[in-house]
Structure 1
Amino acid sequence: MQVAEALKDMVVTEGWQPGDRLPGEAELMERFGMAKGTIREAMRLLEAQGLVKSRTGPGGGSFVHEVSRERAKALLGNYFYFKSLTIDDIYRLRRALEPELAADLAGRLTAETLARLEANIAEYDHPADSPEEEREQHVASLRFHAILAEQSDNPLLGFIMDFMVNLLSDLTVYRALYAPPNRELWEKGRDYQLRLIEALKEGDARAARAIMRAHMDTAWRLMRGQEAQMQKRFIRG
């Protein structure tokens, strides 16, 4: 573990970038004064973490590798797997962060991104006709927020928002929080998103913040109701 951390420090201090080749095994053994087995174990650990990628054959070796957002979300999601997260846990953070993200993006989104947001809303332009469609619409409505998170120029804020959307989407599906259908949740959520797009287009940060906060407050209240109904169904079952 200590050698793996020293290798990560070496990558940072020497300014290596994704795709750069790491020194060979013999050079690492000499640099760190460690046996071959210790170096190999450290490299295996870094590869499991996604920070190193090995290739065989001509031009092969070990290379610095950038962890993708999807892999990072999956690894972090494993940590929360047994944490029994609730709607309250997630929405307390969403209410604090999403209004500020919306305000920050006002007037800064490209025509392409605005079109993506509008196309996303079009996926749930009518009330669901079945539990399956209700589930799909819930997931699609959360994707709207993932699109916004992608646009943040703050990589930490963007990742946290994207991760929370991913958690909530999984929670909604695994716990069937989309059932029974909730017309108010669909109607108000869609209305807030349509109004938010207009504020973002106009560059009105104050309105974008207020709309997103109201959106989060309403969704929090209604999703807590969905969660309570799910718990009642579980107890009766």
Structure 2
Amino acid sequence: MSEPTVQFRRLAEQIADHLRRRILLGELADGSILPTEDELLREFPVSKPSLREAMRILEAEGLLRVRRGKLGGAVVRRPNAANVAYTIGLVLGSQEVSLSDVGGALRQMEPACAALCAERVDRKRAVVPALRQLHAEAVDAADDLERAISASRRYHEALVAYCGNQTMIMLAGALETLWSAHEQGWSTQVSDHSIVPVDERLAVLEEHRQVIDAIDAGDARLAHDLAAAHLINAQHYPGSAGTVDPTMVRQRDH
């Protein structure tokens, strides 16, 4: 490799490092537009190819989304479970991993999150009210399959989001996002909503309520066991026999 090429890569990586740090620290807000190329070149006195390579590095990492056209620009995307879900989905999809494999991982991780929710000393204030609100919304939507599935998935995602362990929130949250994207994508394509009878939907929601009650009581073991039993019963829909498709996450994200 020639010396100029090495220098080009090094400069691009240095600029990417600087901008990445600003994104992670929140100095560049999520959803904000990165300064224009001319503005960045005034801040970083490098060649246009070096700057553009830095942008490509950050775009490949999912930290920027480049828009074309009149409303173009590089949109900042701070890391979150959806970003991680897309990256994991790419890896799993390339290996033709089945959705049932994702479900198996969730059957291990989500009950652990339920137990963590029950162990939180502030659960009655920071966890239970939010879960009960989501449960009420799901019950209200039970007669509409697409709305019911959307509401049910929000409950599962919240069970992870409120567990209090940041690593689990990111990892289990990414898997929840993957599963939700596929299940909700399937629900939008189903014309016969009787495929999942209303009484079956309500039975699923009753199991949700029991998990929430166990969390409210601070019974971590019961919350874990109820969540595990629920997933064994509920983690089935016709589309779950397929393989992971990362584009489903992007479609849901937009």
Query: TM-score band, normalised by the shorter chain?
Result: 0.5 to 0.7
8 A contact 2:116–2:164 mirrored in 1 = no
Aligned to 1:234: none
Instruction: Figure out how many residues of one structure are paired with residues of the other and give that number.
Output: 210
Contact 1:134 1:181 in 2 (8 A): yes
Secondary structure in 2 aligned to 1:209? helix
The answer for the alignment partner of 1:212 in structure 2 is 227
Q: What's the offset of the Cα at 1:182?
A: 3.7
SS in 2 for 1:196: helix
1:19 equivalent to 2:27? Answer: yes
* TM score, norm. by length of structure 2: 0.64
CA–CA distance in structure 2, aligned partners of residues 81 and 126 of structure 1: 35
Instruction: Give the distance between the partners of 1:78 and 1:91, measured in 2 at CA.
Output: 13
Q: 1:36 to 1:110 in 2, by over 3 A?
A: farther
Shift of 1:88: 0.9
Q: 1:191 aligns with which of 206, 220, 225?
A: 206
Residue 203 of structure 1: CA displacement?
A: 1.2
Q: What's the CA shift string for 1:29-84, capped at 9, x where partnerless? A: 5xxxxx5134312332255346479xxxxxxxxxxx66142662574377279666
CA distance in 1, matches of 2:224, 2:87: 28
Rounded to whole Å, the distance in 2 between the matches of 1:124 and 1:173 is: 14
Preserved contact between residue 114 and residue 160 of structure 2 (Cα < 8 Å): no
| Residues 70 and 161 (structure 1), Cα distance of their counterparts in 2 relative to 1, 3 Å cut | closer
TM-score (ref. length: structure 1):
0.68
1:119 counterpart (133, 142, 145): 133
Instruction: Quote the residue 2:109 is aligned against.
Output: 97
CA distance in 1, matches of 2:91, 2:226: 30
210, 215, 221: which one pairs with 1:200?
215
Would the alpha carbon gap of residues 9 and 110 (structure 1) be closer, same or farther in structure 2, given more than 3 Å must change? farther
CA distance in 2, matches of 1:169, 1:188: 19
With over 3 angstroms needed to count, the CA separation of the structure-2 counterparts of 1:191 and 1:80, relative to structure 1, is farther
Shift of 1:213: 0.7
Aligned partners of 1:28 and 1:39 also within 8 Å: no
Contact 2:117 2:127 in 1 (8 A): no
Once the two structures are TM-superposed, the CA of residue 185 in structure 1 deviates from its matched residue by 4.3
Q: How does 1:40-79 map to 2 (within 5 A)?
A: 40-46=51-57, 48=59, 49=61, 51=63, 67-69=78-80, 72-73=83-84, 75-76=86-87, 79=90
Pair 1:13–1:152, CA change in 2 (3 A): same
2:117 corresponds to which letter in structure 1?
Answer: L
Offset, 1:9? 4.9
Q: CA deviation at 1:208?
A: 1.0
CA-based RMSD of the aligned residues comes to 4.1
Q: Which runs of 5+ in 2 are unaligned?
A: 1-8, 29-34, 66-75, 243-254
Structure 1: segments with no counterpart, 5+ residues: 30-34, 54-64, 231-237
Quote how far apart the aligned CAs of 1:193 are.
1.1
Q: Which residue pairs with 1:135 in the alignment?
A: 146
Percent of paired sites with the same residue? 19
* CA 3–203 in structure 1, closer or farther in 2 if over 3 Å, else same: farther
- Per-residue CA distance 1:133-152 (angstroms, 9 max, x = gap): 11110111110011122223
Distance in 1, Cα, partners of 2:10 & 2:229: 48
Alignment of 1:158-177 (within 5 A): 158-176=169-187
Task: Report which of the two structures shows the higher radius of gyration computed on alpha carbons.
Answer: 1
SS in 1 for 2:164: coil
